[in-house]
Amino acid sequence: MIAILTTEFVVLILRLWVVRDAYNFKYVFHDVPKYLLIAIITLVVGMIIPNIIPSVFFNMTLKSIIMIMVYTILMFIMKLDFNQDIIKLVKNFFKRG
């Protein structure tokens, strides 16, 4: 596993080196701090939620649904560039149906 991860990391670095002049890294990574903040907030919410249902499976399912909702709401509150892509995808999905 360590060898595979090391190889993939080296390949990633080499690919980034090759395209460094033609690629705008600032634009691509400008939302990363927002995503990290959203992930941390979602994790904290998930840790704080008490065990409501006695069944471990259903309790984890409920917590997962709540965390997905928190993550999605925070994404739209933070006004990420990715939101427009999600909106377009949902519109296209319902247009077909």
36: Cβ–Cβ under 8 A, 6 or more apart, which residues?
none
DSSP state of 22: T
> SS3 for 20?
coil
Q: What is the pLDDT of residues 54-63, one digit of tens each?
A: 889 999 999 9
- What letter does residue 31 receive in the DSSP assignment? T
> Each residue of 51-86: pLDDT tens digit?
888 889 999 999 999 999 999 899 888 888 777 778
- Calculated CA dihedral for residues 25, 80, 85, 14, nearest 10 degrees: 20
How far is it, in rounded angstroms, from Cα 39 to Cα 70? Answer: 10
What are the tens digits of pLDDT across the range 7-44? 999 999 999 899 888 888 888 788 889 999 999 999 99
Residue type, 65: I
